[in-house]
Amino acid sequence: MKPGKAKGSAAETLVQRAVRGELDESQVLKLCKECPELVTLALLAAVKRITERDTRIAEQAARIVELQGQSNGQHPSPSTPSGMVPIYTKPNTPKRRKKPGAKKGHPGHRREKPDRIDDHQTHRLKRCPCCGGPLQRCERKRTRTIEDIPEEIDPVVTEHTIYRDYCPKCKKHVEPVVPDALPHATIGHHLIALTAWLHYGLGVTIDQIIDILSYHLQTDLTPGGLINAWQRLAEILLAWYERIAEEAKNSAYLHADETGWRVNGQKSWLWCFANDRNCYYMIEYCRGSPVLQKFFTEAFDGVLITDFWAAYDSVDAADRQKCLPHLLRELEKVDQRNDSAEWQAFAKKLRRLLRDGIRLRKRPDFASKRYQSRIDRLNHRVGRMAHEEHEDADARRLTKRLRRYGEYIFTFLDYPYVPADNNFGERQIRPAVILRKNSQSNRSDHGAATQAVLMSVYRTLRLRGLNPTKTIAGALKTYLTTGKLPQLPE
């Protein structure tokens, strides 16, 4: 090896050791005296290394800030999900503009008097509670009705004696069916229906249901026993679940929405399709068009009401209505971070256009035929805005959305039963969100299927004004007696 090359390699090694901090104080002082050029190289290498580290840390911090919906203290992007925005950066809820409650002079709302009186009690003072003196009896009196539940509710335990007799013709032993409980079950229909309604209809956790039953209803159950009973119930009610899907697909209008879900820790999605008569849930591993193609096996001959999620475009629907509050909320979000003159003019124009359509629908004498010319002018205004050119990125993005969905902005003006928003669909999916927060979704595909069936049945029965517990208990008794589940009640 040549001496120059060996000396250069030794110098590079010494510089690297100096940058890594492997030299002690005496070696550094000796290096400064004997070879100041190497000290300069070591300092330059250290500065470069520190600069690269700081740049890497800054990029990682910027990425974290971007994921949290922030950018240098500014407001999050309109496309950032609400769950990704820290709670301390969200604006406070504005104060209520008007006082809660009805106006003065409005007739009061009170609980109706019960149809029957089970017990009568009389109350009369023996002496004055103020001075303790005797009282002069009068005929003045009043009545007060109080409704309460018993202090202890004891379950009804019935022992069934089942005779098994021999049939000479069939050459086998036969016995009657017990219609009060499922085969091999030790709890009755009303208890199964009530616990399923508490969990899948109201979002009560399994531990809370067990506490309610054990402390207040004097009934001891186990989590495994409850889950097994609910899975058997879902298998029986599967025909109702399929019927709800058919009625939803054949309805005049349908709200659709989706929310995040987890099945055994895997990212999934809970889909909701609802109207005033039906509520159908699906739990799938996909948020795209394959789920919609699975549900809408044929063309939907009604109005599909959704937000602006692109997957809904794959549905072959007769007409659509896009949620206007979604668009108005996005305008407010962009206003918080974009104060350019072009954006402000665009947002003001679009906001005025949307509110003009909403105000028109709220007119007491509104009818599509009566105001057809005004509806046409609103659609024409949407078309003009959709073809405008803008330099601002946000204005250009929303203009592209108007160009794509402009014909579905004012669909609610053509149909009296179609709203301008998708609030109903969001309200129907809210119970599932509460249950997801309390119970952490599902642990298996079987549990997800049970979840979808029972939630759909219970929410549909509530939409139809029926008592879910009583209806399902009666259907189970009919199923055991006749071997066939009755029709979904109207």
- Same structural domain, 224 and 345: no
User: Of all residues in the chain, what percent carry a pLDDT higher than 90?
Assistant: 36
Average pLDDT over residues 440-465: 91
- Residue 319's pLDDT band, with cuts at 50, 70 and 90, is very high
User: Rg of the chain's alpha carbons, rounded to an integer?
Assistant: 35
Number of domains in the chain: 3
- Same structural domain, 196 and 331: no
Q: Which of 421, 451, 470 is the last residue of a domain?
A: 421
- Same structural domain, 167 and 315: yes
- Asked if 386 and 327 touch (Cβ cutoff 8 Å), the reply is no
Is position 489 within any domain? yes
In terms of pLDDT, which residue wins out, 30 or 446?
Answer: 446
In terms of pLDDT, which residue wins out, 305 or 104?
Answer: 305
pLDDT of residue 96: 67
pLDDT of residue 79: 59
- Residue 42's pLDDT band, with cuts at 50, 70 and 90, is low
- Same structural domain, 264 and 194: yes
Average pLDDT over residues 382-399: 90
- Same structural domain, 23 and 38: yes
Q: Please, what's the b/e burial string for 208-236 (b: 16 or more CB within 10 A of its CB; e: otherwise)?
A: ebbeebeeeeebebeeeebbebbebbbeb
User: Of all residues in the chain, what percent carry a pLDDT higher than 70?
Assistant: 84
- Asked if 273 and 284 touch (Cβ cutoff 8 Å), the reply is no
pLDDT of residue 374: 92
CA-to-CA dists, residue 28 to 17, 19, 49, angstroms: 11, 11, 19
pLDDT of residue 483: 86
Q: Has residue 12 got a pLDDT over 60?
A: no
- Same structural domain, 234 and 276: yes
pLDDT in tens, 215-240: 777 788 888 888 999 999 999 999 99
pLDDT of residue 1: 42
CA 294-297-298 angle, 5° bins:
150
**Contacts of 298 by beta carbon, 8 Å cutoff, 6+ apart:** 249
- Residue 61's pLDDT band, with cuts at 50, 70 and 90, is low
- Same structural domain, 172 and 249: yes
Range among 113-117, 200-204, 239-243 rated most confident: 239-243
pLDDT in tens, 76-114: 665 566 666 676 666 676 766 777 777 787 887 777 888
- Same structural domain, 345 and 295: no
Average pLDDT over residues 158-185: 87
Is position 475 within any domain? yes
Q: Has residue 450 got a pLDDT over 90?
A: yes
Which class for 197: exposed (0-12), middle (13-18), buried (19 or more C-beta within 10 A)?
A: buried
pLDDT of residue 218: 79
Is position 114 within any domain? no
The CA distance from 203 to 225, in Å, is 18
pLDDT in tens, 234-278: 999 999 999 999 999 999 999 999 998 988 888 999 999 999 999
Between β-strands 300-306 and 253-263, what pairing exists: parallel, antiparallel or unpaired?
A: parallel
Q: Has residue 339 got a pLDDT over 90?
A: no
- Same structural domain, 410 and 390: yes
Is position 40 within any domain? yes
Comparing CA positions, the residue from 323, 212, 81, 64 lying closest to residue 312 is: 323
Task: Out of 86-90, 402-406, 445-449, 460-464, pick the least confident.
Answer: 86-90
Check the CA dihedral 26-30-36-41 and report its sign: negative
Q: Which of 26, 41, 60 is the last residue of a domain?
A: 60
pLDDT of residue 452: 93
For residue 22, give its domain range: 8-60
Comparing CA positions, the residue from 314, 309, 301 lying closest to residue 254 is: 301
Q: Has residue 458 got a pLDDT over 90?
A: yes
- Same structural domain, 469 and 335: no
Is position 465 within any domain? yes
- Residue 72's pLDDT band, with cuts at 50, 70 and 90, is very low
- Same structural domain, 202 and 311: yes
- Same structural domain, 309 and 346: no
The type of residue at 307 is D
Q: Has residue 4 got a pLDDT over 50?
A: no
Is position 117 within any domain? no
Is position 266 within any domain? yes
pTM of the model: 0.75
Q: Has residue 303 got a pLDDT over 80?
A: yes
Is position 175 within any domain? yes
* Run of H or E including 254: strand 253-263
